[in-house]
Amino acid sequence: MTKKSKKFLLAGILVVAVAGSATFFVVSSNPEIIGNIRPGSLEGTNYDYRQGVSLVPGEIKEIAYNDITGDYRPVYPELSESDYEWIFGELPEFPQNFFEITRLIYEGKFIDFEQLGPEYYLQPEFYPSWFNVFPNSSYVKYNPDYWTPEGYGCYPMIKEVSVDISEANSFVVDTFFRTGYATHAYQGLIVRPVFPVSALALDGSVLFDNPEDVQSLISASIVNDDNSLYQSFKNRLLFDNVGENDCMMVLKPTHGIILDKYGEQVGMTGFPSDWVRLLEVKIVLDEDIPLGDYVVGVEMDTPCFEINQEFYFSKYHEYYGSLYFPAGNINKAGTFFQVVIHVI
């Protein structure tokens, strides 16, 4: 959330996060949140956000200086010096205290992700699934016959906030939105706020139901800047499925293939410097909203034909080339991020 919006929230935030099969949770230090019961707001209820969730922390490595990279990135025996360069070359230097910070996160002692610098959250090692995925990924076992065009996700997947409606009714909640590992295409996708029927735990179990009139009580929008190329042509589209509260994004590949003018492969690229960004969800509560629990979700959708056609045939076609892919189909009916709101 932005610094400006912090004053709208109480101090405690419970974060439940997942990346691949690895999950962690961060327990709020707010004394008003005890056993997931907020005095005066949830009388007789007790939502357990850890129910059915396997608490698998990210891997912690012993820190050591890496002579190849000139920083403290873990040593990967599978990689040559040139591999390190094309995979990690655009990322910040790997901090010496990196795993000290991630340990604090996994132990629930650091919950203000907004204070993390890019030298932490841009490293793939920041995300718990990395060390499980990496050994069998195309970074190590590249096969030109396989193409992975789509992959993305949010981390954490659930944030819980308590809001005192007598003080303010507008706030912004953010999460790290990242491209998937070893994706080969530029991905065009629509990021859309939604109002799920129910709030779900990470194991899919129902925590509580949204009230039927939730959309008359809460409004939500994605406040990230839209893609500049999309902005340049959207007014002339005959049909556009990007709603006023949505955001049209293009994610860069995290394993790009460099071709010459004859279509022959001449090189590869790895993680770009903007493969992770903060996804910001602005939420406005009706001033007369009843006290209780609500959930706002974020889903992904595929851009319509008219939008994709512009990306395929724009003057920047050589930038995207044939590697632009209409994404948004992964678990299309699923919610990638949930904001659980306790109005008190």
Per-residue confidence (pLDDT) for residue 314, from 0 to 100: 64
Q: How far is CA 155 from CA 23, 42, 50, 311, 344, in A?
A: 10, 27, 16, 28, 26
pLDDT at 57: 63
List C-alpha distances in Å: 285 to 3, 24, 296: 19, 29, 11
Taking Cα atoms as reference points, which of 147, 143, 239 lies closest to residue 184?
Answer: 147
- For position 1, what pLDDT does the model report? 40
Number of domains in the chain: 1
260: domain range?
3-343
Q: What is the pLDDT of residues 195-249, one digit of tens each?
A: 999 998 777 788 899 999 999 999 999 999 877 888 888 999 999 999 999 999 9
Q: CA 208 to CA 45: how far, in whole Å? A: 10
pLDDT of residue 58: 75
Cα(257)–Cα(245) distance, integer angstroms: 34
**Which residue ranges in the chain fall short of pLDDT 70?**
1-57, 108, 111, 314-322, 331-333
In this prediction the pTM is: 0.80
CA atoms of 48 and 247, how far apart (whole Å): 32
Q: Which of 17, 330, 344, 3 is nearest to 176 (CA)?
A: 17
Task: Give residue 261's pLDDT.
Answer: 76
pLDDT in tens, 61-105: 989 999 999 999 999 999 999 999 999 999 999 999 999 988 887
Amino acid 53: pLDDT: 26
* Long-range contacts at 42-47 (CB < 8 A, ≥ 24 apart): 42/292, 42/293, 42/342, 45/208, 45/293, 47/207, 47/208, 47/293
What is the number of other CB atoms lying within 10 angstroms of the CB of residue 201? 18
Q: What is the pLDDT of residue 311?
A: 85
